[in-house]
Amino acid sequence: MTHVLRFHLLAALALMLILSSALFNRALAADAETLARDSRQALQSLYQSNPVAETLSRSAKAVLVFPNIVKAGLVFGGSYGEGTLFKGGEVAGYYNSVSGSWGWQAGAQSYGYAVFLMTDNAVNYLSESRGWEVGVGPTVVMVDEGVARQLSTTTLQDDAYAFIFDQQGLMAGLSLEGSKISPIRR
């Protein structure tokens, strides 16, 4: 078997595995109550591990929380997870986060992320668009330890701030760029 044929077979197998896992996740998707509970617990866990996130929450117009995103790839990759939008501490809607990628990659991991929507523009864009592709629309700043040290309520100037938490598994690199966030019904 030639190397090219073997490569294409492996790529097709990886794509089938990713698609079947996405469908499996969708079939096992949590009901609204469970999803909201898991999102609240994930947010509280984030606040305990990162006080800057809790400080941001006091100024945020809304917080979008994805408690569990599953990402896998072997040349072709993808991720999927569902989350909850909170406004004023109350559930304001449910969303999914989907991404696809290709390139030099192998592995699987799970993680959660929270996006703190700081402006009315960001909240309106999320609710009015039929799907928000991160990297298009409102500016989203990924908060890592370096950014967190420089953030305060007086330095907040961007539309949204994202925190990644509870990473498990092994996969090189993690980015929200290219993720599409869309409303779902629960």
Q: State the pLDDT at residue 27.
A: 40
User: Phi then psi for 63, rounded to 5 degrees?
Assistant: -130, 125
pTM here is 0.76
> What confidence score (pLDDT) does residue 105 get?
67
Q: Which helix (H) or strand (E) holds 142?
A: strand 140-142
Among residues 164, 184, 165, 186, the alpha carbon closest in space to that of 175 is found at 164
Q: Going residue by residue through the chain, which has 186 residues, state the pLDDT in tens, using 9 for 90 and above.
A: 566 656 655 555 555 555 555 444 544 456 999 999 999 999 999 999 998 899 899 999 999 999 999 988 777 778 899 999 999 999 999 999 998 877 776 788 889 999 999 999 999 998 888 777 766 556 677 776 544 444 444 445 688 888 989 888 766 555 555 688 889 987
| Contact yes or no for 48/64 (Cβ under 8 A) | no
Residue among 40, 78, 33, 59 at smallest CA distance from 186: 33
Task: Report the alpha-carbon angle 165-138-29, nearest 5.
Answer: 45
d(CA 121, CA 32): 26
| Total domains in the fold of the chain | 1
pLDDT at site 11 = 56
Q: Are 122 and 61 in contact (CB under 8 A)?
A: yes
Domain around 82: 3-184
Closest CA to 53 of 139, 134, 126, 143: 143
pLDDT of residue 30: 67
